[in-house]
Structure 1
């Protein structure tokens, strides 16, 4: 719509009244609903803020019970009923000694320790499955080697079709 250049006083007064009426409607709406809009904006802003959780400090350890007067002659061993702080079993001393022999660059030290530790089954290293991936191999026992069958017709070398994806099925491609 093009702007009219020849406006007389009647049209000017009409547009002036229209403008003032719109302005008054906006002011009335803001006075009536402005507080609700601000409250909603504050609620949305508060919802976007990250939730702050309270800091939990470690509990102070209980004082140990007084030692009995009659001391046994043998050295004290760790109590079997004591709560375990770790999810792993303690490392055997012979395996731990590998850490301090040589350097990893020469395939000794930490490198040899980690490779030795890796050979243990997860049940020997951990008290319980730590992640859900542990449950797939938990308590399976030692791996069993399968011997290959000497018959070449019985062995399937791949699950891909030998004659292409869109070709008709070949009876040799099916494993029944």
Structure 2
């Protein structure tokens, strides 16, 4: 079975152009750093006089490009950082989440999670609490929107609806003609 090749003439031309551009950039960099196309003396490592000369190959191959790596600049000595001033007004912030009650905390250590006890029961109980009871203050802007909604619900004229969107539809969709 023949090998499937995904290289067509368009892809070949793209690769040729990419290789040509890369070679041009490499040669430009070499000329900028060494001044000419000739290799500088001592580039390529120290060769002993007993090493054999490589045979010159006939063909259209370019010269090997050796890169001379410059040593890194010396690192400056480390300075001692100034001591941070403690301001009297800076108070360590308290915990963001209120600690659970002792009964709720005991739930973690009783029973197995796979049976619905232990950690699962603890997390379920914490999930059921309102954010105002779990946190000292609203942590996100989403919590700010609904913060103390239970207090607002007591004073507002809100009825329980069977379908969640009926109040929104009634307030925004229908005309104020007194029909509803």
TM-score, length basis structure 2 = 0.35
